[in-house]
Every structure is written in C-alpha cells, then in structure tokens.
Structure 1
Amino acid sequence: MYKATKKKRGEIHRIQIAEGVEKNGKRTRLIGAHYFSSTESAADAWTLVQNYLFLHYDLSNTVVISNSDGGSGYEFSQFNEIVTGCLCHEHVRDAYHVNQKIKQRLNFVPELQAELKKAIRHHDWSEIELVLTTAESTILIDEEEVETHQKEQIRLLKGYLNRNWDYLMPLYKRGLGENLRGIGTCESNHRPYSYRVKGHG
C-alpha cells in the first residue's frame, strides 16, 4: 500500500518470476528474474506476466512452482490459469505469512510455535493437532474473557492450516527432488518498491 492522495491509498500489485535460484556465497540469487507490477489492478499485473510467459517459455515442458500468501487476487486458481498446459504446477503457501500467522495466533504460548512449524514441515496433521491440543491445555480457565479469546485464536489457526493444507506440503515431499526448498523470495524483494514510494530514491 502507498499514500496516493490525502484521502486515498494506492496499491502496488507485484508478481515476480524466475527460473530457479543459485548460491552466491552464503546468499542465494534468482536466476533469470523478471518483475511485474501495476498500480491499476492485480489483473493488469497478471496480464503482463501471462504475455511474458507465452512469449518466452514452452510451458508444456516446464515444471512451475508458484508461491503466494493466498490473498485476494493471488489464489492458486489465478496462478493455475496463467500456466495452463504446463508439465506440472505445484503451489506453495508463502512460509513468511504462515509463520506470521502462527506467531499472531499462538502469542500466548510462544514455546509451542517452533513445534507447530516443525509439524508443518513434517506435513503431519496428527502432529498439528497434538500441538494445538497442548496449546489449548495451557489456557487459563479462571479468566473467562482470556479463555474465550485464546480458544478462538486456536480455532482460527486450525481453520487456516486446514484450508491451506495442500499448499503447506514442503517441496521436497512432492517428488521434485530432495534438495528443493521453499521459494519465498517475494517478500524480500519488496524493498526497492517500498523505498521508492517512501521517497528514498
């Protein structure tokens, strides 16, 4: 989001594509990265990406891995539509946003947050339920308002994980190679945009 006028806010709709990642010392670098943005609508940004893919790739021989937070305009269906006819399409929920959700919902039991992340990496629903049940057992039942709020946080988190379960499976468990890890690079590349709209050059 950015301040467009005194009464309105604008939004930069961003999509990026790359052909993979490579090691650059301790850091990683995107291979063949291209960035697309629009201040008009997400649909405009998607049109730019779709045209670029059509002109530069034969998707019938391409495995596509997509990644998003699942927000409006960035659902699995949107990605799937622009890569129709690809060899294989795997969609992943962005780890940054999943971790933020865990931190927000389980802020009253920070010691269980790492356990829940581990259960997600194992992609084991029984482990998820065990952690959430443990979290529920720590709720103070002598404070009704706190109890209600914390139970609601657990319910919301469980619903979120359940809705996104297919997209939470790690890439290495999808038969795409043991060394394949996440592609959560979009958040880290917000900086040039945020600096620009904040007047830093």
Structure 2
Amino acid sequence: MDKIITKLYEIIKESSDLIATEESIQLYMYETFAELVGDIFTHLNQVAKEQKQSEGWKVKRADWKTVQFLFGPVRYHRTLMVDHESQNHYPLDECLGIRNYQRHSPLVEVKVAELASKCTYRDTADLLKEWTAVMISHQTVGSLLKRVGTAQSREDEESVLELEEAAELPKGKKVNYFYAEADGVFVRGTKKKKSLEVRHAIVYEGWEKNGKRVSLKEPKAIMTTKKTAGFWAEVQAFTANHYALQQAQVITNSDGGQGYTADKFQEAFSQSNYPVLNQLDSYHVYQGLNRAFGAQATLFKRQVKQALKAHNLDDLTVWLDTYESTLDETLALEKLKIFRTYVLRNWDRIFDWREKVEQAPKDARGLGAMESNQRHISFRMKKRGMHWSEEGCEAMVKVKQGMLNHTLREAYLHQQNRSARQQRKLKQTIRLSSLLHEKTRQSVGAKNGAIPLYASHSSAMGQLFKTFR
C-alpha cells in the first residue's frame, strides 16, 4: 500500500494537469491490478499442482500464459500435467474455466459481443481502447461476437433436442392468454444479389401501463437465420420450456407471408387445448391499402377501409371494382390487383381478436408490436453498405436475442463447459491457497528467563545481578 501511495504522489507531482493525472492513475491502476491477479493465479497454480501430484499426476512442464482482462493483460505461471490415462491437463485453467488457446477473459468476450451488437466492429474496438485496457482489432471483435453468438445458438439447439427427447412437457408458467407475432427481415449477404432472411418471433403475456406509456408484458424474442422448420422448432421449444399453455388461449399475428401462415402458429403452440387464433397484421393491410390508393385520403380509400373494418366482403368488392373502373395506368391497375389478391387470400384472418374471444382481458389491445421490434435487427444490420456472411448474421441475431431475453451470459458460461464439480474444486483450491499463504505471527520474544551468576552475591557482579530483578 505504501508503494502505491508513493507512486500516486509521484504521478500527481509530475503531471501537468488533472486530465493527464487521471489518465496516468488509470494506467497505473490497470498495471497494478493485472500484476496482482497474475501473482494470485500463479500461487493458485502451485496449490493445484501439489493437489494433483498427491493424486498421482506427473508434471510435464511449466509455462506462462497471458489472458486479456478488462483491467489489462494478466500473465501467470501454469503447469502442464499428465493424468493416469496419459492425458494432458492444465489444472489451473480447468479450475478457472479457461479454454485452450483462450486469449480473452469471459467478461471481455461477452462485453465485446454486447457492444458489437449496437455499433460497428471498428467502433467497438475504438470504444474499448478508449475506456478500458482492452486493445483488439475489429477482426477480433467479429471473431469474439461469433463465439458468443454460437454459444447462444447451441443453447437453443440443445433446448430443441431436449424437448424432442422428453417424455412429457416441462412444467412452465400458467397464463390465461398468450400472444405471439412473427415476421422476417432481409439483410444483404456477402454473395452477390443474395439476401439472408432473419426470422423473428416475439412472445408475450399481455400489456403493462406506466402512466400513459404502454409496453409488452414479459416480452421474449426468438431470432435465427435457419430455415423455416428450424425457426418454428426453436419457437416451440422456447415456449414449452417457459409456459404451460394447455388452458391458455393463444392469439397470434403475422403478415401471412411464406413461412408465417396460420398452420405454422397452430403447430408451434399445439399444446394449447384451444384453436390458435391467427389474425392478419393490420399494419401490412393498411400498407397495401396506401400502395394501391395512394397516401391521400379519398372517398374510395375511406370506403374500402370501412368495409375492411366491418368485415363486409360485398361492400369491399363493390368499391374495389368501382375504383378499378376509374384507372387507366397499368401500374396503378397492377397495384390494385396485388392488394385485392392479398386481402381476398387472407380474408378469414382479417378480424380483431378481441371480438373472437368470449371475454377479453381488461387490458386487451390490438396486436402489431412486431414492426417496432424489428428495429432491433434493422437498425444494426441494414443499410450503411453492410453485408453479412451466414455465420456472422446468425451470431449477431443470437447475441441480440440473448441480450433481449437476458440469457446471453448464462448460455455463454454454460458452453464454457465449467461444471459444478470444477466450481467446487476451484473453491477448495482457493481455500487451501489462503491457508498456505497465511502469514506467521510476529515473535514477541521469551516470556520468562534468567541470567546465570557464576560468582557470590556480595561481589560486584552479584550486586549488578540484583539490579536486574
């Protein structure tokens, strides 16, 4: 501590201003913490080595390893050992949960992925350099994001396999009404003229009000670039692992596009004893209306909208035919034809779900939250000349999903293969290390003693001896 205080005095004395002072103190703090943690890891390695030697393991060699933490690179000594089956191990790395060839701490990897999901790889590298002791390239940022995203993807795949192999459904939360919406977002791929579709679903329990602001209740997201079957398998597995929908009325919403039809929702939420209600997304209906009739309010547009709201097919047909007779341009006729086909193909799905259930909840609202939630993907992955590989796109959306659902760190740590047994071993090693590292008590000297006298008490030495009593 005295050394640290002395160093701080020197920094303050030599710095020209408070900004330079703080920067120098920050750098010194990083260096000091990294050095201390390295010493602790080296000491833990010694304890772990002695433990394994007592179990019959043999020492093969000792070397150094450097791992980048948020506060700086930590360099520590570790021992390579051979077990009874001639397998190589680094006992300390296994206890700490550090992979072979891992160069960044778990927190650094997760933080990099979380930051890269909000800004570009280059901006991520610059921000880390500016605010932490982590100095990495934008290529490394991409590699770390792929690693973390792959961990979340594997966790989802395992969830699907567990559901397929389970003898019965997991016990989940019971709800009376359950809501789900799904749609896709296309992003540019690295191959010429080829896009990648990000399939996206949100599930929630209803709505919550905070003053005048309304938000979804317990929203969860499922995102992937997998094919339609894989996407719906993940939706089904996620829902089954969190909810018991046997007695729940499931209400769903989509634009009716390929891969998002009513039968897909019915299959994904088949555990419900009630038919799954699937309505056509009103945003896409009125978007098609504006394309066919224009943005301006007209008599034809108003009457068609009213017919849609009243679900009156006869009136709709009359007004569409009447408007068509007024058109001369081929492009306008084609737009109207597309709108007519879309509406008639999905006519049975154009309804307000609140009119289809016996008793709608008091806080019931119309569905249509998907479009605003798509911004999580589009704001980060579209435009600005961005192109995505299949691996990078899947990793990015899985990181997004993990952050929205608060499962990213748990999934990452689970895929690190650090078991509960390894955690107990680490605690035992630290406990033994603290006992071995305990300082000896300071000597206070002898409590009793005597000085021998080899002369008579009446002599000069005897008189001196008496004064010591």
Residues 24-60 of structure 1: per-residue CA shift (max 9 Å, x gap): 3333211111101002323322111101111222221
Which of residues 156, 162, 173 is equivalent to 2:338?
Answer: 156
Conserved in 2, the CA contact under 8 Å of 1:68 and 1:94? yes
Equivalent residue, structure 2, for 1:135: 323
Aligned to 1:72: 258
Give structure 1 regions of 4+ aligned residues with deviation exceeding 6 angstroms: none
Q: Which position in structure 2 is the counterpart of 1:5?
A: 190
Which aligned pairs between 1:47-196 and structure 2 lie closer than 5 A?
47-86=233-272, 87-107=274-294, 110-111=297-298, 112-140=300-328, 146=329, 148-177=330-359, 180-196=364-380
Where structure 1 has 5 or more consecutive residues not aligned to the other structure, the ranges are 141-145
Q: 1:47 to 1:113 in 2, by over 3 A?
A: same
Higher relative contact order, structure no. (Cα contacts within 8 Å, ≥ 6 residues apart): 2
1:90-126 Cα shifts (integer Å, max 9, x gaps): 1010111111111112239851323322221111112
TM-score under structure 1 length normalisation: 0.84
Give the match for residue 212 of structure 2.
Answer: 26
- Is the 1:15–1:46 contact (alpha carbons within 8 Å) kept by the matching residues of 2? no
SS in 2 for 1:88: coil
Deviation at 1:166?
Answer: 1.0
Which structure's CA Rg is the greater one?
2
Secondary structure of the corresponding residue to residue 11 of structure 1: strand
Q: Which residue of 2 aligns with 1:46?
A: 232
* Amino acid across the alignment from 1:196: R
Would you say the 8 A contact 2:198–2:223 is kept in 1?
yes
Task: Name the amino acid aligned to 2:375.
Answer: R
TM-score (norm 2): 0.38
C-alpha spacing 1:152/1:9, structure 2 compared with 1 (3 Å) = closer
Amino acid at match of 1:31: K
1:12–1:39 Cα contact (<8 Å) kept: yes
Instruction: Output the CA distance in 2 between the equivalents of 1:154 and 1:164.
Output: 16
Instruction: Compare 80-89 and 148-157 and name the one that shifted more.
Output: 148-157
Structure 1 counterpart of 2:187, one-letter code: Y
The CA distance in 2 between the partners of 1:55 and 1:12, in whole Å, is: 23
Residues 110/135 of structure 1: CA separation in 2 closer, same or farther (3 Å cut): farther
**Native 8 Å contact 1:22 1:30 kept in 2:** yes
Identity value in percent: 32
> Which segments of 5 or more consecutive residues in structure 2 lack a partner in the other structure?
1-185, 387-469
Give the length in aligned residue pairs: 195
